């Protein structure tokens, strides 16, 4: 792609910086493919796959507990249905805007392609902040959000999933409203409760998948998790299950965080301590700071955005698992990780490494896994949830876990294989971007100019 083609894509929506970042990262790594396939350029594939098929934007009015009217903005970005019905997470967070959802939908399209399951790419959500709201407020918001979204989604067209700020509680409220609006009990959402259409292992799938992927990376170098110290940022769904699987495989998780700060436990967070974190975050909806009240040998450090680095990434460890937010690892953080001898960085979150950090990891040849490959286990099990819904049956937890492991192993192999084929051995970033891109583009071209 020429600079002018890229410029055209980027200048169309100048304020969408996260979307630009995601597109630029992919374009830089797929250059060898574009050189190999001049027809891709002639057929305008990049312009086609970076422009959403459809974007829905809507008003979400709801009433808080003080009977005040609140109005949030709802979105659904339907990026690509080349490989199957639109599929991607919903995100409820005050930072949500169109650019963030377009970046997530673009990443999701390539991620879903890597799973090889028949799923297109999408992403939706709202600038609603569930933190600090009562259950009743969250329910009223979810119902209002779904009252509109239900007109646009369906089990054959668009199947949203849980995501950041959208857990089992939110999915439950939205599923209830969809059913009422459409008079239809269908597999329209994934991440559902086990008793009403959910799949075993969906809550665990993203985090477990991240660690299965990292274990494959280590195994390719004849190493294991045994005795390795690990930093896991965040303390939500992905972080909890990443930590859980690392502990099970013999690794030592020494830190977790939330948006207010982080805890450091020099003795390591064992299974019992992690259960405390799960209860704290999932049931009490508390703050990670409360960990130090229970475990006194630990420290808590408040977030400080005035610093030019995040002290979380300055701690000495063998492996880093960013599992919270986009761009949480900046340039100085990447240097700090490397100076402290980090061996592996495996992304649980979507795009947690800034472009500067990515460049440093690549230049220093750190064992690095991009989120679109490493965290694909969540959407993969959501794909398996859709399959089970269609068949009106439930696979056992063991069966789903076995399938998840196989999918993560295959994604790992595919990334390595494709990177090798394009003369970039061991480069998982290029392998993932190229493998996902080719699959989406070939399907897009097969289906004509639509
Ligand atoms: P959750 O809402 O369950 O948890 C997010 C966690 O990140 C919370 O602990 C939150 O803290 C913390 N956090 C948010 N901002 C910051 C920050 N600036 N610094 C430190 N911690 C922060 O979300 P998920 O675990 O589901 O998602 C995490 C990431 O993984 C996102 O990037 C998401 O897109 C990605 N992902 C999730 C999948 C899934 O299946 N859930 C699948 C694939 C990707 P606080 O409580 O203070 O808000």
CA distance 322 to 312: 10
Listing DSSP states for 91-122 in one string gives EE-TT--HHHHHHHHHHHHHHHHHHTSS--EE
Task: Please list, in sequence order, all residues whose beta carbon lies within 8 angstroms of the beta carbon of residue 52, skipping any fewer than 6 positions away.
Answer: 77, 78, 79, 80, 102, 105
Check whether 1 has a pLDDT greater than 80: no
Token pair for residue 398? 């063991």
Residues 293-329 have pLDDT tens digits of: 999 999 999 999 999 999 999 999 999 999 999 999 9
Q: Say if residues 355 and 329 touch (Cβ distance below 8 Å).
A: no
* 170 ligand 1 Cβ < 6 A: no
Dist CA 398 CA 200 (whole Å): 9
Is 46 a domain residue? yes
- In the three-class reduction of DSSP (H, G, I as helix; E, B as strand; rest coil), residue 274 is classed as helix
> Domain containing 254: what range?
205-365
pLDDT at 233: 98
- 23 and 167, same domain (yes or no): yes
Contact indicator for 321, 242 with CB cutoff of 8 Å: yes
The pLDDT score that the predictor gives to residue 5 is 75
Of all protein residues, the one whose alpha carbon is nearest to atom 24 of ligand 1 is 164
Q: Distance from the CA of 433 to the center of ligand 1, in angstroms?
A: 23
Determine the residue of 111, 238, 280, 370 to mutate for testing ligand 1's pocket, defined as the one with the most ligand atoms within 8 A of the Cβ atom: 238
Same domain (yes/no): 106, 242: no
State the CATH number of the domain containing residue 274. 3.40.50.720
Q: Give the number of the atom of ligand 1 that is nearest the alpha carbon of residue 91.
A: 34
Nearest to 265 by CA among 288, 240, 238: 288
Q: Is residue 298 within a helix (H) or strand (E), and if so which, with residue range? A: none
User: Is 90 inside any structural domain?
Assistant: yes
**The pLDDT value given to residue 341:** 96
Query: Across-strand partners of 78?
Result: 54, 122
Residue 253 domain-assigned (yes or no)? yes
**Which pLDDT score is estimated for 194?**
96
- Residue 291 clears pLDDT 80, i.e. is over it: yes
DSSP 3-state assignment of 343?
Answer: coil
Domain end residue (candidates: 365, 388, 418) = 365
Q: In angstroms, what is the span from residue 259 Cα to ligand 1's centroid?
A: 9
Main-chain phi, psi angles of 204, to 5 degrees = -85, -20
Residue 247 forms part of a structural domain? yes
Which residue lies with its CA nearest to atom 43 of ligand 1? 375
Is residue 39 a part of any domain in this protein? Answer: yes
* 181 and 277 inside one domain: no
Residue 342 has pLDDT above 70, yes or no: yes
What value does the mean pLDDT of the chain take?
97
According to the model, what pLDDT value does residue 3 have? Answer: 67
Shared-domain flag, residues 233 and 100? no
Residue 28 CA to ligand 1 centre (angstroms): 27
> What local confidence, expressed as pLDDT, does residue 9 receive?
85
How far apart are alpha carbons 402 and 422 in whole angstroms? 31
CATH number for the domain harbouring residue 54: 3.40.50.10860
Is the distance from the beta carbon of residue 130 to the nearest atom of ligand 1 less than 6 Å?
Answer: no
Q: Ligand 1 pocket, 234 CB below 6 A?
A: yes
Please indicate, yes or no, whether residues 295 and 156 belong to a single structural domain of this protein: no
Q: Which helix (H) or strand (E) holds 293?
A: helix 291-294
Q: Is the pLDDT of residue 22 over 70?
A: yes
Residues 127 and 266 in one domain: no
Cβ contact 18:100 at 8 Å: yes
Residue 2 confidence (pLDDT) above 70: no
Tokens of 132: 């600090």
Say if residue 270 is in the same domain as residue 320.
Answer: yes
Say how many domains are in the chain.
2
- Following CA atoms 115, 117, 118, 123 in sequence, which dihedral angle do they give, to the nearest 10 degrees? -50
Q: State the Rg of the chain over Cα.
A: 21
Cα distance between residue 380 and residue 401, in whole Å: 11
Q: What pLDDT, on the 0 to 100 scale, is given for residue 95?
A: 98
Determine if ligand 1 sits within 6 Å of the CB of residue 240. Answer: no
C-alpha span between 296 and 67 (Å, rounded): 42
Q: Token pair for residue 295?
A: 């475990």
pLDDT over 60 (residue 394): yes
What is the reported pLDDT for 253?
98
**Burial (0-12, 13-18, 19+ Cβ within 10 Å), 134:** exposed
- Among protein residues, the one with the nearest Cα to ligand 1's atom 34 is 350
3-state secondary structure of 338: helix
Q: What is the dihedral of CA 177, 109, 239, 415, to 10 degrees?
A: 150
Do both 31 and 158 map to the same domain? yes
The CA 205 to ligand 1 mean position distance, Å, reads 14
Instruction: Give yes or no for residue 378 CB within 6 A of ligand 1.
Output: yes
pTM to 2 decimal places: 0.97
For residues 347 and 117, give the distance between their C-alpha atoms in angstroms, rounded to a whole number: 21
Note the pLDDT tens digit of each residue in 381-392: 999 999 999 999
DSSP 349: S
Average pLDDT over residues 86-93: 98
Q: Looking at the predicted structure, is the pLDDT value of residue 285 above 60?
A: yes
Q: Once rounded to an integer, what is the mean pLDDT over residues 57-67? A: 98
Question: Which of residues 339, 365, 391 is at a domain's end?
Answer: 365
Instruction: Specify whether 171 is located in the same domain as 264.
Output: no
Q: Are residues 9 and 63 in the same domain?
A: yes
Domain assignment of residue 421, yes or no: no
Q: Are residues 176 and 30 in the same domain?
A: yes
Residue 247 shares a structural domain with residue 329: yes
| CB hemisphere CA count around 442 (13 angstroms) | 9
Q: CA angle at residue 173 from 399 to 87, to 5 degrees?
A: 55
- Pairing mode, strands 121-126 and 86-92: parallel
pLDDT of amino acid 319 = 98
> Residue 424 domain-assigned?
no
Residue that terminates a domain, selected from 314, 340, 365: 365
The mean pLDDT of 57-85, rounded to a whole number, is: 98
pLDDT digits (tens, 9 = 90+) for 29-52: 999 999 999 999 899 999 999 999
Sheet of 54-63: strand order equals 54-63, 69-80, 121-126, 86-92, 158-161
Q: Is residue 403 part of a domain?
A: no
Share of the chain above pLDDT 90, in %: 98
What is the distance in A from the centroid of ligand 1 to the CA of 344? 20
């Amino acid at each position: 792609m020429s600079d002018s083609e890229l410029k055209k894509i980027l200048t169309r929506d100048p304020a969408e910086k996260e979307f630009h970042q995601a597109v630029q990262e992919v374009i830089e790594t797929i250059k060898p493919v574009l050189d190999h396939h001049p027809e891709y350029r002639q057929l305008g594939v990049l312009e086609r796959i970076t422009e959403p098929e459809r974007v829905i934007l809507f008003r979400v009015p709801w009433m808080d507990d003080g009977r005040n009217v609140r109005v949030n903005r709802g979105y659904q970005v339907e990026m690509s249905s080349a490989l199957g019905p639109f599929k991607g997470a919903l995100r409820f967070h005050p930072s949500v805007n169109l650019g963030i959802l377009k970046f997530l939908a673009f990443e999701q399209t390539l991620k879903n392609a890597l799973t090889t399951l028949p799923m297109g790419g999408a992403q939706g959500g709202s600038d609603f902040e569930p933190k600090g709201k009562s259950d009743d407020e969250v329910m009223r918001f979810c119902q209002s959000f779904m009252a509109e979204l239900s007109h646009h989604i369906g089990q054959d067209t668009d199947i949203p999933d849980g995501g950041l700020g959208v857990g089992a509680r939110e999915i439950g409220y939205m599923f209830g409203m969809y059913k009422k609006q459409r008079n239809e009990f269908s597999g329209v959402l994934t991440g559902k409760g086990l008793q009403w259409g959910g799949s075993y292992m969906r809550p665990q799938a993203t985090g477990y998948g991240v660690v299965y992927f990292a274990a494959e990376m280590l195994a390719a170098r004849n190493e294991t998790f045994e005795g390795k110290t690990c930093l896991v940022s965040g303390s939500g769904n992905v972080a909890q299950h990443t930590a859980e699987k690392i502990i099970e495989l013999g690794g030592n998780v020494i830190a977790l965080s939330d948006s207010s700060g982080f805890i450091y436990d020099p003795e390591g967070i064992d299974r019992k301590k992690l259960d405390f974190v799960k209860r704290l975050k999932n049931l009490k909806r508390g703050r990670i700071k409360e960990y130090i009240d229970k475990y006194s040998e630990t420290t808590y450090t408040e977030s400080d955005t005035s610093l030019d680095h995040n002290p979380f990434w300055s701690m000495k460890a063998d492996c880093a698992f960013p599992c919270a937010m986009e761009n949480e690892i900046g340039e100085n953080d990447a240097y700090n990780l490397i100076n402290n001898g980090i061996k592996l960085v495996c992304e649980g979150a979507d795009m947690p490494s800034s472009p500067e950090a990515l460049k440093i990891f690549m230049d220093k040849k750190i064992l690095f896994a991009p989120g679109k490959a490493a965290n694909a286990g969540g959407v993969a099990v959501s794909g398996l949830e859709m399959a089970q819904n269609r068949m009106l049956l439930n696979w056992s937890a063991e069966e789903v876990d076995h399938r998840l492991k196989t999918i993560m192993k295959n994604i790992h192999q595919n990334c390595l294989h494709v990177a090798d084929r394009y003369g970039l051995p061991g480069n998982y970033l290029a392998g993932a971007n190229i493998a996902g891109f080719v699959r989406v583009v070939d399907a897009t071209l097969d289906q004509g100019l639509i």
